[in-house]
Chains A and B, each alone.
Chain A
Amino acid sequence: MDDMVQLQKKLFDYTASLFQEGFLDNQFNQLEQLQDESNPDFVVEVVTLFFDDAERILNELTTSLLDAHVHQLKGSSSSIGAQRVHEACIPFRNFCTEQNVEGCLKSLQQVKHEYSLMEEELLASRLADLK
């Protein structure tokens, strides 16, 4: 029984700190007030729904933003014949369609890498031309 009381106090103190630090506001109190014996897990269920929703939205946002920009880069790189940059953009599309954020970010790293290699090579060849 003592353990239960201790745990409840810990939870109370922790929740109070979340309010103090601005993580939670009065709306959370409203949720707690809605919880009752007929629905004892109400708060946890609503918060879980929020996390699932937020993650889905953030993933969609990240992949759609990245997709639009990489599409542009794919087009412009092929217009000057920058083949390796262009090819590095291709796997990107699939990762975006799958909403695979990790895949998108790894692919983006590869695109950036190919771009900086190409930039160095082109600059070096320009300098050689000028000499």
Chain B
Amino acid sequence: MASPQNFASKLTALVVDDHKTYQKIHQKMLNNFGVKSHVVENGKEAVDIHCHGKKFDLILMDMDMPIMNGIEATKELRAMGVCSTIVGVTSRTTEAEILKFMEAGLDDYQEKPLTKPKLSSILGNINSNK
């Protein structure tokens, strides 16, 4: 089995989630892979941070958030021309909801909480496409 990869100073990520527990967990997971991460509390802040010129290799997007949810934010970011890998991360699991979220412009969808192997695979794909 390959040893855990370290993406130190190569990749950056944005965690978009209104739950402080998930913010902390996902950020720690990313840090353990050597990925620099930034956290915002809702979709509008995710859009605003891109309007200010910031770019990220990976965006972990929660679905249910106040002010602007994950579906609206994903649509908005794609409309702005953001090409980052956007992975929807949510505890909702009906097929219809997943489809709606994917159709907004996600590259991938994961049920919360994200696992280490899944995150490793996502980061590996991004890194090899860079």
Q: Write the residues of chain A forming the contact surface with B, with a CB cutoff of 8 angstroms.
A: 27, 30-31, 33-34, 36, 38-39, 42, 45-46, 49-50, 52-53
- In the complex, the number of residue pairs spanning A and B with C-beta atoms less than 8 Å apart equals 27
- Complex CA distance for A33 and B25, rounded to whole angstroms: 11
Name the residue of chain A whose CB is nearest to the CB of B19.
A53
Chain B residues bordering chain A, tally (CB within 8 A): 12
- Residues in B whose Cβ lies below 8 Å from that of A33: 116
Q: Write the residues of chain B forming the contact surface with A, with a CB cutoff of 8 angstroms.
A: 19-21, 24-25, 28-29, 31-32, 113, 115-116
Q: Are A27 and B21 in contact (CB under 8 A)?
A: no
Q: Are A42 and B21 in contact (CB under 8 A)?
A: no
Q: Are A30 and B115 in contact (CB under 8 A)?
A: yes
Q: Are B116 and A42 in contact (CB under 8 A)?
A: no
Q: Are A49 and B21 in contact (CB under 8 A)?
A: yes
- Residues in A whose Cβ lies below 8 Å from that of B113: 27, 30
Name the residue of chain B whose CB is nearest to the CB of A50.
B21
